[in-house]
Amino acid sequence: MNTDLQNEPKSLIECQDVSLAFRNGKATQQVLRALNLKVTEGQIVTLLGPSGCGKSTLLRVIAGLIDCDSGSVTIRGSDVSKKMPMKVRHEISFVFQESALLPWRTVWQNVVLPLEIRGQLHEGSCRSRCEELLEIVGFAKSDWNKLPSQLSGGMKMRASIARAMSTSPKVLLLDEPFAALDDILRSKLNDLLLTISAQRQCTMLFVTHNIAEAIYLSNQIAIMSRGMIAQTLDVPFAFPRNEKLRSSSQFAAYYGIVAEGLIASAQATQAIEKEIA
């Protein structure tokens, strides 16, 4: 038996030749173009690229919120391109750009909502998990009964992350969840995600246009340009990571490499489009 193949990390998510166009009357906008992507189990992979390159759309296709026109998406070996099996759907959680907390429910009631919907709220292990998650994301017990209107933007996002993790998902999809936050708070929540990743062994696919955030969080960065994965980069820094890494010369040097990759990928994609046209 080939031991190299046996020990090769498993791909949890695979996108093969995924294409999608949005149509408005006679106008057609090609959003995803024969896109290919693999996300290895247990890793954090970041989709990095400018606004409008298809990052969020791809995340929604993987989540089963949008059907692709052609190609395939598999999660844990199941094809979810057209219809996602319920078993797979229960293994995925999504964190949106906005916290999307229900304003009439307390922090605790928002966090346990997915369990309530599934009829698992009264299981002791599930309640204990939610209590532990609220501690991990930094909520004191005195905050559990607060309404979203009583929370800061950062606390709302912490509650949203705890809610997403309440069902112990195998896959966590995050669509620029920290884009509206200041840099200090963004950094703290980046560390929170790394803590959750280490403790919960959850595979994450993260969307951002922030280069420093992509480097700090990721095992791998997939640079997107005009609906395609133009380049993938393995991030060379070991885990666990901390604030000292952000201010290191190695981090600054790699930031330059990723920035150059973004520019080169955009130029290469434009050249391909011209040839096709």
Instruction: Give one DSSP letter per residue of 136-169, joined into a string.
Output: HTT--GGGTT--GGGS-HHHHHHHHHHHHHTT--
Give CA–CA dist 126/124, Å, rounded. 5
39: β partners: 13
| Residue 204, pLDDT above cutoff 90 | yes
Q: Closest Cα to residue 30, out of 21, 41, 19, 39?
A: 21
Q: Please name which of 202, 92, 95 lies closest in space to residue 156, comparing C-alpha atoms.
A: 95
Q: What are the residue ranges of CATH 3.40.50.300 in the chain?
A: 10-91+173-261
Res. 9 pLDDT band, cuts 50 70 90: low
pLDDT at 210: 93
User: For the chain, what percent of residues have pLDDT higher than 90?
Assistant: 64
Q: What is the pTM of this model?
A: 0.90
Under the banding of pLDDT at 50, 70 and 90, the label for residue 273 is: low
- Check whether 232 has a pLDDT greater than 70: yes
10-91+173-261: what CATH class?
alpha beta
Cα(first)–Cα(last) distance of the chain, in Å? 47
Residue 23: pLDDT band with limits 50, 70, 90: confident
- Assign 269 a pLDDT band (cuts: 50, 70, 90): low
Lowest mean pLDDT among 82-96, 184-198, 229-243: 82-96
What does the pLDDT read at residue 5?
46
Tokens of 34: 């024969």
